[in-house]
Chains A and B, each alone.
Chain A
Amino acid sequence: MRRFPLWSWFWFLLGTLYFFLPLLGTLNFSLRIRRDVLSLDAYNNALTDPEFIRTFVFSNQMAVMTILVSILLIVPTAYWAHLRLPQVRPALDFITLMPFVIPAIILVFGLIKTYSRPLTVFGLPVVPPLTNTVFSTNILLIFGYTVLCLPYMYRSVDNGLRAMDVRTLTEAAQILGAGWPTILFRIILPNLRTALLSGALLTFSIVVGELTLATFLARPAFGPYLALLGNHKPYEPFALSLISFALTWVAMGIIQFVTRGSGQGQLAGGH
């Protein structure tokens, strides 16, 4: 007879408590805005604050743009590296890990320093300072986010490409008459579905909560709003952090569900 795996259960429970007790504490606290009764008032207040809606929508827009830019930048690059330039793949791996090494604060100061002056060619200004207008600052923010999320998006795409036989599939499509756009949009992208989805959801949860870039570029994003709220409201920030936590969980759940549901490991997975 198999022995009851006592120690396994012990460590499992300990881990669960370590993880969930703070959450429970937060939940409990967030429900106590009214003396002696549990209520959802904190959630109500937080969600109906017009500032909340404005910043949340803004961050979501930025996240969607970041995802689009990342995909357009990374998929063709990683595909070409797999197909024709396998020798540059170690370099790509290294570059895309840089955001883990370089703090966001350094990235944002670098961006501001570079783009708050006009870009010049032979001393002639060709692009005005990007920090001059709201629109161009948003562009700067999106590209900053793209850099921050490189490790996640690139790794997902790279794993997805690894899981399929890029070269043979490309050649099979070519010999059937397909040109590059057809190969990319009808063969490579569809087979990267799950990889792209997991990259996108990770990017999404990072961008929506990001603080540093948005603060220093002075954009009305959700991260700074949350930080500000924490400074002068007691209960609402906890309600909001639980909500964003739940959103992250939902995103991870979707990743899990799709990678599992896509069946028999046939579609290139994200992790």
Chain B
Amino acid sequence: MAYLELENVRKEFNNSVAVENFNLKVERGEFVSFLGPSGCGKTTTLRMIAGFELPTSGAITINGVDMTDTPPNKRNVGMVFQAYALFPNMTVADNIGFGLKIAKRPADEIKKRVKEMLDLIHLPVKGDSYPYQLSGGQQQRVALARALAFQPQVLLLDEPLSALDAKIRVELRSEIRRIQQQLGITTIYVTHDQEEALSISDRIVVMSAGKMEQVGTPFEIYNFPQTSFTASFVGQLNLLPVTVSDAEGRRCAFNGRALAVGQPIRFANGASVRLALRPEELNLGGASGDSQRNELTGAVESVNFLGSVVRIRVDVGGATISIDLFNERQLVLPKAGEQVTVNFPAESCWVME
């Protein structure tokens, strides 16, 4: 049996469904992210695991114990909130020790544990500070320490980084991952930032409109999206309107040009579908006769320099596609309006509705 299980969980608010058919098994020590657009039910699901919302139907078990109706203060679950939610009237040390104090642990044990936690979050000298004396990033570290200090069975984080600026965000997310791995704590992390989810998770649950779209490792989610929602929500995706010309032989037609498709095509000949393709799979230049590569031509619309990559947008007639090139010094970039040929390997593209 998995460590944390959600079985057929469903939540309605005044007869409108916020979450449905939610089935998830999380192994002990696993880091799972809920990823999806605003309003898709991530927070609601997390709050049901915490006990702040009761599922309309379904069951939640932690370590084999049915927790579905257990109140939050009896669940032994740690939670980190988007707004930090540190107690303003207490010092950092008192905040971190709060859970242990509630559990009536001896004072010297609390003191020792608080010190360990302060070291863990790299703020060893801030114990006597008050929350308002800390930066946002430091406050969120303290909130993390507070959630972990009483050794909860599961750690829940609801967009813990979204109130911080970009640089701190990246720094703190790897810190969260480091601490999570060091303690081996089972963790659920809610975010709408795909880069965040891809970079720190063992597995990702992609959600949309209250339902699970796909569950898988970041590698699977990015490279083998199973629904068009996942494909377009995670990462950039080019979608070309094409017609299936030979399903058996895996061929499509775009503006009279035949394109080879790597994956099997599950549509009938003549069906209007879309060819999906990641921007980083495209290259400038012709296919030079390689039958496993496809060619498209068009006029350059724009060239955007994004740092480590350069994004070129090309109007290929009826559709605009993005091409991401790694930034190299010897790169010769086309100019806007210039006519270019681009190519991509057949196995990198797939067909969807």
Contact = CB atoms under 8 A, between A and B. Distances in A.
B132 A263 contact: yes
Contact of B99 (A176, A264, A266): A176
Nearest to A265: B132
Contact of B79 (A164, A175, A179, A187): A175
Contacts of B88: 164, 191, 266-267
Contact of A187 (B52, B76, B87): B87
Interface residues of B, number: 29
Contact of A177 (B52, B87, B102, B130): B102
B298 interface: no
Contacts of B98: 173, 176, 178
Contacts of B81: 168, 171-172
A106 interface: no
Nearest to B87: A187
Interface string B62-85: 000000000111111111010101
B89 A175 contact: no
A172 B139 CA distance: 14
B240 to A, nearest CB: 46
Contacts of A14: none
Interface string A194-233: 0000000000000000000000000000000000000000
Contacts of A165: 83, 85
B150 interface: yes
Given A172-B81, A173-B98, A176-B99, A267 B73 contact: no
Given A172-B87, A178-B102, A182-B102, A264 B146 contact: no
A146 B87 CA distance: 30
A174 interface: yes
A53 B76 CA distance: 57
Contacts of A177: 73-74, 76, 99, 102-103, 150
Given A174-B72, A175-B77, A176-B102, A266 B132 contact: yes
Interface in B144-175: 146-147, 150
A172 B86 CA distance: 8
Interface string A152-177: 00000000000011001101111111
Interface string A232-271: 0000000000000000000000000000000110110000
B323 interface: no
A190 interface: yes
Contact of A169 (B50, B52, B85, B130): B85
From A172, A176, A190, A263, residue with most partner B Cβ within 10 Å: A176
Contacts of A263: 132
Interface in A69-90: none
Contacts of B50: 171, 175
A175 B130 contact: no
A171 B132 contact: no
B99 A172 contact: no
Contacts of A164: 88
B126 to A, nearest CB: 16
Contact of A168 (B85, B132, B146): B85
A65 B167 CA distance: 54
Interface string B289-310: 0000000000000000000000
A267 B89 CA distance: 7
Interface string B117-156: 0000000000000111000000000000011001000000
A193 B89 CA distance: 10
Contacts of A179: 73
Given A165-B85, A177-B150, A171 B52 contact: yes
B87 A175 contact: no
B292 to A, nearest CB: 54
From A172, A174, A264, residue with most partner B Cβ within 10 Å: A172
A175 B77 CA distance: 7
A266 B150 contact: no
A106 to B, nearest CB: 41
29 contacts: A164-B88, A168-B85, A169-B85, A169-B87, A171-B52, A171-B81, A171-B85, A172-B79, A172-B87, A173-B98, A174-B71, A175-B50, A175-B77, A175-B147, A176-B73, A176-B99, A176-B146, A176-B147, A177-B76, A177-B99, A178-B98, A182-B102, A187-B87, A191-B88, A191-B89, A263-B132, A266-B88, A267-B88, A267-B89
Given A168-B81, A175-B72, A175-B77, 20 more contacts: A164-B88, A171-B79, A172-B79, A172-B86, A172-B87, A173-B98, A174-B72, A175-B50, A175-B51, A175-B147, A176-B73, A176-B102, A176-B150, A177-B99, A177-B102, A177-B103, A178-B98, A266-B131, A267-B88, A267-B89
Interface of A: 164-165, 168-169, 171-179, 182, 187, 190-191, 193, 263-264, 266-267
Interface of B: 50-52, 71-79, 81, 83, 85-89, 98-99, 102-103, 130-132, 146-147, 150
A-B pairs, top 3 by smallest CB distance, nearest first, are A176-B99, A172-B85, A190-B89
